[in-house]
Amino acid sequence: MKLIEAPYYSELDSPIGLLLLMGDEARLRGLYMRDHEYQRPMAEGCERNDAAFRSVRQQLTAYFAGELRKFEVALAGEGSAFQKRVWQALLDIPFGETESYGQLARRIGNEKASRAVGLANGRNPISIIVPCHRVIGANGSLTGYGGGIERKRWLLEHEKRSS
């Protein structure tokens, strides 16, 4: 698995467990939950630097407190052009709402790509901020989530309570 090339990382306790943030002073490159299924490893020499993530940490804390609905974070998740298109489209799903994989595929202009959308969604390197948890099955079921279905359920319920 490809490394996340980032000079710094930080950790943040949250209601869904420890979060790992990776990036530099300007952009967030990764946000993973403990035991995240598709977590990409840090590059050798990556150093802990909580100050580099001060704003992201504050925003995440406000999100979990129910005080923030939209993040203002410079993002630099690495992926294919298709993955990046899917991840960008995830940012348009409103806080507290959900969308099916098929709806997301139609919205990016390829209605037959729901399976590919699901794979790209699962490889999202910046959980929570790029809200892959808001994508559900066509029948409304909570389908796969790299951080685990219980965390997905918690995030969705949290957003409904905070709406």
CB-CB contact of 118 with 144 (8 Å): yes
Q: How far apart are CA 129 and CA 48, in angstroms?
A: 21
CB-CB contact of 45 with 62 (8 Å): no
User: Could you say which of 28, 104, 132, 136 is catalytic?
Assistant: 132
CB-CB contact of 55 with 63 (8 Å): no
* Catalytic residue status for 132: yes
Sheet with 19-23, strands from edge to edge, namely 28-33, 19-23, 8-12, 47-48
Q: Which residues are catalytic?
A: 132
